[in-house]
Amino acid sequence: MAKQDPIFELIDAEKKRQSEGLELIPSENYVSANVLKAMGSILTNKYSEGYPGKRYYGGQENIDPIETLAIERAKELFHADHANVQPHSGANANEAVYFSWCEPGDTILAMSLPAGGHLTHGSPVTRSAKIYNFVGYGVTKEGDIDYDEMERLAKEHHPKIILVGFSAFMKIPDFDRVQKIADEVSREAGHEILLMADMAHVAGLIAGGVHPNPLEHGFQVMTTTTHKTLRGPRGGLIVSMGKVSSPLRKPEHTLENIPTLIDRAVFPGTQGGPLEHIIAAKAVAFEEDLQPEFADYARSVVENAQVLATELQRLGFKLQGGGTENHLILIDVKDSYGIDGKFYEIALDRVGLTLNANALPSDKGGAFRPSGVRLGTPAMTTRDLGAEEMLKLAGWMKQVLDICVAAGDEDGLGGHVAELDAIRAEVRELALNFPVPGIEK
Ligand SMILES: *Cc1c(COP(=O)(O)O)cnc(C)c1O
């Protein structure tokens, strides 16, 4: 009967779209069949407010060991003292950390959105920005964090949190340098400064050993999504260093107690019942992430990004930061070819290459017509695409770009249907040779 519901036809259509196109959006990935199985399980039927061993409802004899496994695996993955696996998303994870450590009006120093930070790091349209006072640091001309500006702003504003995290930043952060700044400023300010890393994008690279772990460089807290490079279900995670005690009693407000303060901030502070089917799927993904094959995957993600970045530059594309040290690439299409990012995004979608228009630091195009596009290699690498395919992809991107230049605007693409269709067919043929995990052929 369920088959009659058009929802299921749409899911089938989406399977086809995912199979026949190439996913270049750097925040997307493909989960395994086992992750899908856990997500689609009857665990969704269960209420389990609280934490393992400390629940507000009965019947937790299977739920508790599931959540405990997820916690233990997350701790092992990031060498952390504590893990909270309940945040429903990356945004919720960040909100809970702010709430665990700050009072309304307190200052949080974070990378500004145009520099590559995330909306949840203080964009005025968010709830957090109405509650806390966000101060933003930027990036240098070379695309690295402007540590001098971070230090100057920290001394001026005495923040409660210094946050390092990003959605469009291609360098490896110098966590030790940030720790030094925090040490110095916290003595001056007379309060402890929480060092928080939002590694939503690179958590999989950290787990795979190809990116430094902020928790091993003096940071107390790391938040992440579980669905980007970690290749798990859509969700959030907070790992932290410190003393773990029962969330039923409020501990003293010290950095050492941050794990317990975070548990209380997630539930009951900002969320209700946890999604135990998603937590089970997180546990399955973490176990996959602990395998040696996952380290190979993480290495290939970075290698593919470097091959793709080098080839794009050879073809004349200008890259923000001059290339990449992680899985992210940000192209300044406006400066390279006079085309805006949205137009290029639409044209690429037409041939089955999906990415997103993205603002560049100091962009004049605004949020709807930004000058850049952002792309990345995590999803393609999961499908086993390698260096050879990266070169092909860069070639298609250049062909589509030339069509955009000739067309002038979106309407002008109508005069190039045959050329676009020809590229679409080549993309589809390649994509079908690299099946999506979890989708039967
Ligand atoms: C994706 C992302 C988030 C938000 O994750 P959601 O699960 O979409 O809420 C937060 N921070 C950073 C740095 C991100 O890249």
pLDDT in tens, 277-287: 999 999 999 99
Annotated catalytic residue 151: no
- Contact at 8 Å (CB) between 331 and 370? no
Q: Which of 171, 228, 264, 350 is catalytic?
A: 228
Question: Averaged over 338-344, what is the pLDDT?
Answer: 94
Question: Averaged over 44-72, what is the pLDDT?
Answer: 97
- pLDDT tens digits along 359-375: 998 787 677 789 999 99
Q: Is 167 in the pocket of ligand 1 (CB under 6 A)?
A: yes
Question: Averaged over 13-34, what is the pLDDT?
Answer: 96
Does residue 2 carry a pLDDT above 90?
A: no
CA distances from 390 to 32, 60, 309, 372, 385 (A): 23, 48, 9, 20, 7
Rounded percentage of the chain residues whose pLDDT exceeds 90: 94
Rounded percentage of the chain residues whose pLDDT exceeds 70: 98
Does residue 270 carry a pLDDT above 60?
A: yes
Half-sphere exposure (CA, 13 Å, Cβ side) for 343? 23
Q: Is 118 in the pocket of ligand 1 (CB under 6 A)?
A: yes
Torsion angle, CA of 298/179/129/168, rounded to 10 degrees?
Answer: -30
**Ligand 1: centre distance to CA 112 (Å):** 14
Residue nearest to atom 2 of ligand 1 (CA): 200
Can you tell me which atom of ligand 1 is nearest the CA of 92? Answer: 9
- Contact at 8 Å (CB) between 166 and 374? no
Please list, in sequence order, all residues whose beta carbon lies within 8 angstroms of the beta carbon of residue 104, skipping any fewer than 6 positions away: 131, 132
Does residue 1 carry a pLDDT above 70?
A: no
| Best residue among 27, 113, 120, 199 to mutate for probing ligand 1, ranked by most atoms within 8 Å of CB | 120
CA pseudo-torsion sign 173, 174, 176, 179: negative
Looking at every residue in the chain, the average pLDDT score rounds to 96
Phi first, then psi, for residue 264 (nearest 5°) are -70, -30
Can you tell me which atom of ligand 1 is nearest the CA of 198? Answer: 13
CA distance 98 to 161: 8
Does residue 3 carry a pLDDT above 70?
A: no
- Contact at 8 Å (CB) between 87 and 235? yes
**Ligand 1: centre distance to CA 104 (Å):** 22
**Ligand 1: centre distance to CA 90 (Å):** 4
Position 138 scores a pLDDT of 95
Q: 2-6, 64-68, 342-346: lowest mean pLDDT where?
A: 2-6
Q: Which residues of 289-306 are buried (b: 16+ CB within 10 A; e: fewer)?
A: beeeebeebbebbbbbbb
Q: Is 201 in the pocket of ligand 1 (CB under 6 A)?
A: yes
Can you tell me which atom of ligand 1 is nearest the CA of 121? Answer: 11
Q: Which of 23, 95, 198, 389 is catalytic?
A: 198
- Number of alpha helices (DSSP H) and beta strands (DSSP E) in the chain: 16, 14
Q: Which of 55, 234, 369, 392 is catalytic?
A: 234
CA distance 385 to 201: 20
Position 335 scores a pLDDT of 86
Question: Averaged over 167-192, what is the pLDDT?
Answer: 97
CA distance 225 to 412: 39
- Contact at 8 Å (CB) between 29 and 379? yes
Q: Which amino acid, one-letter code, is at 260?
A: T
Position 336 scores a pLDDT of 85
Position 438 scores a pLDDT of 86
Q: Is 123 in the pocket of ligand 1 (CB under 6 A)?
A: no
**Ligand 1: centre distance to CA 374 (Å):** 15
Q: Which of 20, 49, 174, 349 is catalytic?
A: 49
Annotated catalytic residue 299: no
pTM of the shown model: 0.96
Q: Is 120 in the pocket of ligand 1 (CB under 6 A)?
A: yes
Name residue, tokens 């969330």: 247
Position 71 scores a pLDDT of 98
Question: Averaged over 8-22, what is the pLDDT?
Answer: 96
Annotated catalytic residue 249: no
Q: Is 232 in the pocket of ligand 1 (CB under 6 A)?
A: no
Q: Going by DSSP bridges, is the β-strand pair 353-354/356-358 parallel, antiparallel, or unpaired? A: unpaired
Q: Which of 120, 225, 229, 382 is catalytic?
A: 225
